[in-house]
Amino acid sequence: MENIKVYNQDGNVTGEMEAPRFLSSKWNGALIHQVFKAIVANKRHPIAHTKDRSEVSGGGIKPWRQKGTGRARQGSIRSPLWRHGGITFGPRNTTDFSQKINRKMLKKALWEVLAKKYSLNQLKVIKDLEVNPKTKELNRIITNLVGQKTALLAVSSANKNVFRAAGNLAKIKALPIKNLSVYDVLNYQYVLLDQAALTELTNNYASK
Looking at the fold, whether 71 and 161 belong to one and the same domain comes out as no
Residues 37 and 117 in one domain: yes
At 124 the pLDDT is 92
Give per-residue pLDDT as tens, 78-94: 999 999 999 999 999 99
pTM of the model: 0.81
Same domain, 104 and 92: no
What per-residue confidence (pLDDT) applies to 37? Answer: 95
Determine if residue 169 is left, alpha or beta; phi over 0 gives left, psi from -120 to 50 gives alpha, anything else beta: beta
Domain match, 79 and 139 both:
no
Least confident piece of the model among 28-37, 127-136, 171-180: 127-136
Residues 192 and 161 both lie in one domain: yes
- Report the C-alpha gap between 1 and 18 in whole angstroms: 7
Residue at a domain's end among 96, 125, 156: 96
Q: Mean pLDDT of all residues in the chain?
A: 88
Helix (H) or strand (E) holding 18: strand 13-18
Per-residue confidence (pLDDT) for residue 1, from 0 to 100: 61
Looking at residues 142-167, what average pLDDT do you find? 85
Shared domain for 21 and 114, answered yes or no, is: yes
Do 37 and 55 belong to one domain? no
Q: Measure the CA–CA gap between 200 and 116, rounded to whole angstroms.
A: 19
CATH of the domain at 112: 3.40.1370.10
On whether both 68 and 21 belong to a single domain, the answer is: no
Same domain membership, residue 198 and residue 161: yes
Is residue 110 domain-shared with residue 202, that is, in the same domain?
yes
CA–CA distance, 201 with 208 (Å, rounded to integer): 11
157 and 88 share one domain: no
Confidence at residue 108, expressed as pLDDT on a 0 to 100 scale: 93
The domain tally of the chain equals 2
Q: Is the pLDDT of residue 206 over 70?
A: no
**Domain region containing 61:** 48-96
Starting at the earlier edge strand, list the strands of the sheet with 151-155. 13-18, 3-7, 123-126, 190-194, 151-155, 172-176
C-alpha distances out from residue 177 to 24, 98, 109, 199, Å: 19, 24, 15, 10
Is 4's pLDDT higher than 70?
A: yes
Same domain assignment for residues 139 and 87: no
